[in-house]
Amino acid sequence: MRQVLVEACGPALDKVIFSTNSAASDRPAGLRYGIAGLTPASGTSGKDQIVVDDLQALATALAPVAGNSNIVIVASPDAAVALQMRVFREQWPILVSAQLPARTVIMVAVNAVVSAVEGAPQIDASSQASFVPDTVPQEIVTSAGTPATSVGSLYQTDEVALRLRWPITWALRASNGLAWMTNVNW
């Protein structure tokens, strides 16, 4: 069960890390937050030339931060295959994320990303806890003394709850350390 929970973290983290969402109490801002997507090259040239034009636009956007540093490309599965099969010669690693919309490519200057992870994921199991089965839970009892209406008890229903906690955070040190585009024409 531990392995299944940990493996499920990858896609969930991809979804949040590469999002355009602002920070909230349960997560940092997505790396694309506040960064406008670049416009992909038009589909009038051959696909090989369009790929080159798009990669040039992305790399040019990163140049002030990246210099000669490592650059990584993160792409939706379809865009990653197109990159690998058409023109790419392994100069920059291509990572695949199924959480990105189709035909989406993100280029990141590795030196512009900072992250912190506090140890391994922590997994707890309990058959004694009370909980509120809600994606936006309220306090179990408010300061006015009103109990939440949907409080459940694992003990009463003979169930076990699993909780995975993993203190992890990330941010861009410079907003021009990431460039992206969607609806690429290749």
Instruction: Tell me the domain boundaries of the chain.
Output: 2-118+166-182, 127-135+146-164
Residue 89: the pLDDT is 66
Q: Which of 7, 21, 31 has its CA nearest to residue 173?
A: 31
> Cα–Cα distance between 69 and 109 in angstroms, integer?
7
Q: What is the percent of the chain where pLDDT is above 70?
A: 96
Contact 115, 68 (CB under 8 A): no
pTM of the model: 0.79
How many distinct helices (H) and strands (E) make up the chain? Answer: 4, 10
Residue 86: the pLDDT is 78
- 88-99 pLDDT, tens digit per residue, is 666 789 999 999
What's the topology of domain 2-118+166-182? hypothetical protein PF0899 fold (3.30.2320)
> Cα–Cα distance between 73 and 92 in angstroms, integer?
7
The conformation of residue 175, written as its DSSP 8-state character, comes to G
- 16-48 pLDDT, tens digit per residue, is 999 999 999 889 999 999 999 999 998 777 888
Q: Is 20 helix (H, G, I), strand (E, B) or coil?
A: coil
Mean pLDDT confidence for 73-90: 86
Mean pLDDT confidence for 126-136: 80
Half-sphere exposure of 32 (CA within 13 A, CB side): 21
Residue 176: the pLDDT is 93
> Cα–Cα distance between 38 and 29 in angstroms, integer?
20
